[in-house]
Amino acid sequence: MSRLHLQINRPMATEVKVPALGESITSGIIAAWNVKDGDYVQRDQAIYELETDKITSEGLAEVSGAIVLKAAEGDEVEIGQVIAEIDESAAAPESSDSPAEEQTSESAEKPEAKSNAVSPAVRRIAAEEAIDPAQVEGSGKGGRVTKGDMIAAAESRQDQSAEQQAPNVSVASGSSAPVSERTTRKRMTPLRRKIAERLVSAQQEAAMLTTFNEVDMSAIKSLRGTYQERFVKKHGIKLGFMSFFVKAVVRALEEVPAINAMIDGDELVQNHYYDIGIAVSTEKGLIVPVIRDCETLGLAGVEQAIIDYAGKAREGKIGLEDLQGGVFTITNGGIFGSMLSTPILNAPQSAILGMHAIQDRPVAVNGEVAIRPMMYLALSYDHRIVDGKEAVTFLVKVKEALEDPTRLLIDV
C-alpha cells in the first residue's frame, strides 16, 4: 500500500538568478556579496555585485526574506544560474523595521563603527588589499570611508612597503626572500581578460597604422581663460579640453567620411551618425562609454556627458548600453603624462585619436621662435579601409579646428 505525502502551506523560496545583461554576455563572476548567508534582506536591496567582461552590475532582491547563498564570492556563474534563494516566510528581525535607517543612525552615533556601513566597492578593495576599513580615516559624509579613501590607503601602504624593502635590494643573491614574498598571483577579472583579447585581436585582424601631427593649444587655452568664469556661471560645469576635441573630430568625420566606416565581414559599413567614445581609466581597466549624437551637442552638452560618465565609472554604474555603438574613439594619455603613443584600435571602429600632454615648446611662428603650448596627436587607423591620404587629411582637419576653434562656431 503506497503512502501519499502531503505538504500543506510549505514555505516557498524565491530563486535569485543571474539576469541576462546582453546578447554577448554569457557568464560573470560574483565580485561581492553585500549580505551574509541567513541575513534578512529587504525587497530592492542590493545583495550582490556581478562582474562581467564588459560591466559590473548590482543584483537586487525581488522579495523580502531570509537569504540562503548558493554561490560564493569569486565563483564564475552562468546567465540564468540560481545563486541564492530567499525564504519569504521568514520573519523580519524585531529590532528594526528599517535596517538601513538603524545602521545609519548607529554609525552617526558611533563613528568607530563606520566599517559596518561601507559600500560594495570599499569591501572589494578591502578584500583585495587586506585593508580593514575601520583603520582608514573616512572623508565621506559622517566619516564614511569611500572608495577613494581605500585606494589612497592601499597606495600609501605600497609606498611604505617599497621603502622598507629598498635596503634589502643589495642583499646577496644567496639570501633571497621566499618566493611567496616576491610574487603574488590572482585571477584576471572578466573585464581585464576581455580587454586583453580585444587588444590582441585588433592588432592581429586590422592593418593598423599610425600617423602623427602636433597642435598649438594657444587658442583654446586663451578661449577657456576668457570665458571659463561665465561658462561655469551659466552651465554649472567647467569648460575642458575634451569637448573641443570631440567637436573637432565630428567636423573632421563629416569632411572625411572614410574614417566613419567599419568592416563587417566582407561588407563595408558607412556610418552617418556621430557617437564618439571617450576612453576612461577605472580601477578595473579601460572602458569606453559613448557620447551619443555629438553633432547635435554644444560644448556644454559634451562636457556634461563626460562628467556624467566619469561619475558613473567611479561608482561602478556604467551600463552595457553606455558602451555600445560608438563610431570613433578618443583616448587621452596626456592626463597621465604621456608625450607620444600609438593607440590601439577599438574594434570594429576604423580609427582612434590619441591625445597627449600639453607642454610649452619652442616653435616657429611667422619666421620667429615662440614658446607655445603644444600637444602631439596620434591617429591610428585600419589601413584596409582608410588610405594614408584620408588619414593625414583627417588629422589635419582636427588640427585646424583646434588651432582656430572659431571654425567650429561659424561652420567653415
Residues 302 and 203 in one domain: yes
What is the C-alpha separation between 192 and 53, in angstroms, rounded? 7
pLDDT for the residue numbered 191 = 66
How much of the chain is helix, strand and coil, in % rounded to 5?
40, 25, 35
User: How many domains would you assign to the chain?
Assistant: 3
pLDDT for the residue numbered 173 = 43
Residues 209 and 296 in one domain: yes
Residues 76 and 197 in one domain: no
Which residue positions in the chain have pLDDT lower than 70? 1-12, 22-24, 53-54, 95-121, 124, 128, 139-142, 144, 146-148, 151, 155, 157-180, 190-191, 284-285, 410-412
Is the residue at 371 inside a domain? yes
pTM higher than the cut 0.75: no
Q: Is 383 one of the catalytic residues?
A: yes
Residues 70 and 212 in one domain: no
Residues 288 and 146 in one domain: no
**65, 87, 109: which is the final residue of a domain?**
87
**62, 87, 112: which is the final residue of a domain?**
87
Is the residue at 7 inside a domain? no
Phi-psi region of 74 (alpha: psi -120 to 50; beta: other; left: phi over 0): left
The DSSP line for 69-83 is E-S-TT-EEETT-EE
CATH code at position 74: 2.40.50.100
pLDDT for the residue numbered 362 = 96
Residues 196 and 118 in one domain: no
Catalytic residue among 37, 75, 387, 404: 387
Is the residue at 170 inside a domain? no
The DSSP line for 314-328 is HTT---GGGSS--SE
**How does the average pLDDT of the chain come out, rounded?**
81
Burial class of 117 by CB neighbour count within 10 A (0 to 12, 13 to 18, 19+):
middle
pLDDT for the residue numbered 412 = 61
User: In Å, how far are 40, 43, 68, 98, 265 from 94, measured between CA atoms?
Assistant: 11, 17, 20, 10, 62
What is the C-alpha separation between 126 and 154, in angstroms, rounded? 9
Per the CB < 8 A criterion, the answer to whether 328 and 349 are in contact is yes
Residues 131 and 216 in one domain: no
- If you ran DSSP here, which 8-state letter would residue 397 be given? H
Catalytic residue among 39, 87, 275, 383: 383
Residue ranges making up the domain that contains 122: 99-163
pLDDT for the residue numbered 246 = 97
Q: 289: closest CA among 314, 316, 262, 320?
A: 320
